[in-house]
Structures are given as structure tokens and as C-alpha cells.
Amino acid sequence: MGICLSNQIKAESNFQTDTGLTSSSKMVSGDGPESSYSSSKSSSVSGPMTSRTEGEILQSSNMKIFTFGDLKAATRNFRPDSVIGEGGFGSVFKGWVDEHTLTATKAGIGLVIAVKRLNQDGWQGHKEWLAEINYLGQLQHHNLVKLIGYCLEDDQRLLVYEFMPKGSMENHLFRRGSFFQPLSWSLRMKIALGAAKGLAFLHSAEPQVIYRDFKTSNILLDSNYNAKLSDFGLARDGPTGDKSHVSTRVMGTYGYAAPEYLSTGHLTAKSDVYSFGVVLLEILSGKKAIDKNRPSGEQKLVEWAKPYLTNKRRVLRVIDARLEGQYSLVQAGKAAKLALQCLCMDARSRPNMDQVVTALEQLQESVKTESKKDQKHYRRPTKRKKPSSKKEPKNSDDRLVGPSTEQDTLLDRAAARTETGAPPQPPLTQSTDLGQTPNQAALSNPRPTNIQHRATEANRRKRAYPSPDNSLEKAEVS
């Protein structure tokens, strides 16, 4: 099995790419060579690579070479209902293989895979297909999508990936519907951190790898929302030796490419950092980097959002309203500040990806701390008995209390003394029953009126000074 390319395939045109779920257009400009040099590629995970030569598939023990028949059976003959994504490169199909032997199985049995089938024309598409194999075949990291294998048979070119059940970050941020619910603040920060770790791993490889096409559609999510970078078709080796940059033809996606790369074609790791800043801004705002459906002053997200990122209060205008305030203002300010640093026009002033990872890890830790505090705060009210919502009867309702009397006036005065802090009146002569309200107790045990008081006093005197004719008692009572 080998690579057979026609000399007649020379055209290079704008190439559409996809993560397996959605498509996005790339830009290609300039007439210069794709890269000013070629170099070797190594990974701290799988060991050093052999020298990379244009048009050659590097040997890798991490990948399986599939036959076209294998993948045809795994995808049920590439049935239309197996399609999970489409783009200018071709289509992506869902399939199943045995977990151990990687042979085709029946639908729903075994390991789920995503099979990217390339169109049969286009030199640029074939170059990106080769780059995908040579990078993902040599690099392994938990924040990079796993390339299981490939197929090159006659004019058929296919790539086989692990299946990512949650799709792309792009879908969760920008698509609406019951399947795509707004991501919480903590999930957004988790995804941003995972994607940053993937970029940091590439930049720390020897030689360095520049991703060159970092965007939300290339961030795939597994069942636990762990982020993995996909689509390495535009990846390039970074500068080596005393070189500060790689000179390339400008390629990438509009809205994400660094300004110095667009103007000069000079590619560095800081170009990826700028792209990360754009993606982080999309994560915070829930808005696309470029959207012509927005008002004229808001179509370019970076230009619109930058003035708000420097102010802790104004930054709220940028944060996605679908979060409904379920985030810390301090955390939002820190994330906005990090995005602004990544978007600095001077590439030298941008942080490197290791620094970005550290900042996001600290932010993630603060998210967990705030979450624990919130849980403690919300548990406290459950220990307290909620006040009764039952209202006391009003005096005006004669069906419950009856007409206003002197007793009501005394109760009102007692209530007023309680509110103003005045000393309470002596307790009532009879104890209140359990379950009675103070008003009910007062009504059932009223204070004696003046006439009752005088009669009581007369009885006391009568007992102390008895008279034969009871004249004192009669006089007092009458």
C-alpha cells in the first residue's frame, strides 16, 4: 500500500474543514511557499519522530491501517443516516468496531468511532490529511483527540477518530435547542482550561508545534465535557535554532488569526495565544468571533468587547446573559483580564500558554471554593423553622374577632410599646394556653375594667373589715 498522487493535481483553493460535527471556512492567501523550512517532530509521549518529508506518512505504532472494506462495514456502507458532520473536505460518519481487534461490528456494539472521509480531489486537502496523520499519529495527550487509524486505498483517504459524544464547543455556545443547553460557568472554565492544556502541550513539544487553527469548532468534548483539540491539518512545526518565527502563507480562520500573522505571515506560538484569547472571549460572551447578523459596531467580537474588558463593572456587558448571573464577579473579571492579555496587539506582551494554564487553574480552584461556600450558605436555612405565613385576623373582620372594643385599644398600645422598645406591661392575670397567639390570649383573658376593679376592691375591704349591714359593699357596687 502506498501513496499515488497525480501530477495533474496542483490547484490549491480555499479549503473547508470540520471537527466531525460542523464546518467552518478557512482562509488561504499569499503566493509564497507553505513553510520556509522543514524539520523533525518529536513528542514527549511517544518518542522522537523520524524526519518529516512532504507527502510521506511517518511510521507510528499508535495507529491502525484500515482497509476501505473495514470502514465501509463499520459505517453500514456509509449510510446517510450515519453522517454526523459535513464540510468542504467531505463527510464524517459514525461507526462501530470491536474494542480489541478494531474489526467492524454491528451498529450499537463495540467501540464507537468517527470516520472522516475525504473528497477525492484537491491537493490542499491531501496535504492536510497527511499533516493530521503525522501529528496525531505521533502525539498523545488527554487534551488531544485520539487518532485511531487511517485508510489510504486507491483514491480513498479516510481518518478514524475516537467518538466525542458531546460534540464541539461551537455547538454548545452558538446553537439553540433542547439538545444544546447553555453551559454553566464552571463547565466553561473547565473546557477553557482543558483546551489551554492541549495548546501548552503542543508548544512544549520538541520541536514545538504551532496549531494555527485554534477555534471553538476544533474543541471537541467527551461525555464528561473534557476538551480535546482536533483537526491538525494546518499545524506546523515551530521555529528552531535562533529563528524567532516561521514564515508561511497565511492560512487559518477569519476572526481568530493574530494580526501580526495576517500582516506579515510570521507564525509563532504567540499566534496561537491570540487565537486562544478570541476563543476565551467567545466562551465568556456566548457570541461568535465574527457575526454579520449583529449590529455594525458589534460584528467583530474582539473590537466590540475590548473596551469593556478593562472595567470590572462594564465587563458584565460582555458576559453571556444566559448564565443568569450564576458566576462570581471577581472570577468574571479575572477571566476577562486574561482574555485581554492574550489579545494584546504586541505579541511579545502576550502570556505563553503555560502561564495561561496557571491562571485558569487558579480560576478553576476559586470556582470550586466559591461552590463549596455556596453549598454551606444554602444549607443553613433548612435548619431553621420557617416563619408562619398565616396572617393574624384583622379587627375589621367581625366574623373572626368582632367589633373594636377597649380591649383592642389596650392590645394596640401594648404592640406599640414593644416596637418602640418601651418596657412591657405587667403580665396578664391568667396564663395563655399553648398554641394561642398573644392577641387570642388577650381576648380570652381581658384586663379588668374600672367597674370590675372597684368591685374587686370592695370585696377585699369587706373581707378585711366586715360590717353587719354590708353597706360598704352596696355603696361600692351601686
Burial 45-60 (b: 16+ CB within 10 A, else e): eeeebeebeeeebbeb
Nine-digit cell at 12? Answer: 490549491
The grid cell for 146 is 485520539
Rounded to the nearest angstrom, the gap between the alpha carbon of residue 133 and the centroid of all alpha carbons in its chain is 30
CA distances in angstroms from 120 to 6, 75, 91, listed in the order given = 12, 19, 12
- Annotation says 70 is catalytic: no
> How would DSSP label each residue in 377-401?
HHHHHHHSPPPP-PPPPPTT-TTTT
Binding residues: 116
Phi-psi region of 346 (alpha: psi -120 to 50; beta: other; left: phi over 0): beta
Task: Read off the C-alpha cell for 428.
Answer: 396578664
Question: What Rg do the C-alpha atoms of the chain give, in angstroms?
Answer: 38
Residue 58 and residue 49 in contact, taking contact as beta carbons nearer than 8 Å? yes
Annotated binding site for ATP: 116
Residue type, 112: V
Give the pairing type, strands 16-18 and 156-162.
unpaired
Cβ atoms of residues 155 and 187 within 8 Å:
no
DSSP structure class, residue 61: T
Catalytic residue among 213, 231, 272, 320: 213
- In single-letter form, the type of residue at position 335 comes to A
CA 218 to CA 19: how far, in whole Å?
A: 5
Q: What does the alpha-carbon distance between residue 160 and residue 147 come to, in Å, rounded to a whole number?
A: 6
Beta-carbon neighbour count of residue 381 at 10 Å?
A: 8
Task: Report the candidate in 354, 356, 310, 361 with the shortest Cα–Cα distance to residue 333.
Answer: 310
CA distances from 237 to 37, 58, 432, 468 (A): 9, 15, 88, 127
DSSP state of 430: S
Q: What gap in Å lies between CA 379 and CA 320, rounded to an integer?
A: 28
* Cα 229 from Cα 339, distance rounded (Å): 19
Asked if residues 432 and 441 have their Cβ atoms less than 8 Å apart, the reply is yes
Neighbours of 66 (CB within 10 A): 25
Give the residues across from 91 on adjacent strands: 86, 117
DSSP β-ladder status, 209-210 and 236-237 = antiparallel
Give the catalytic positions in this structure. Answer: 213
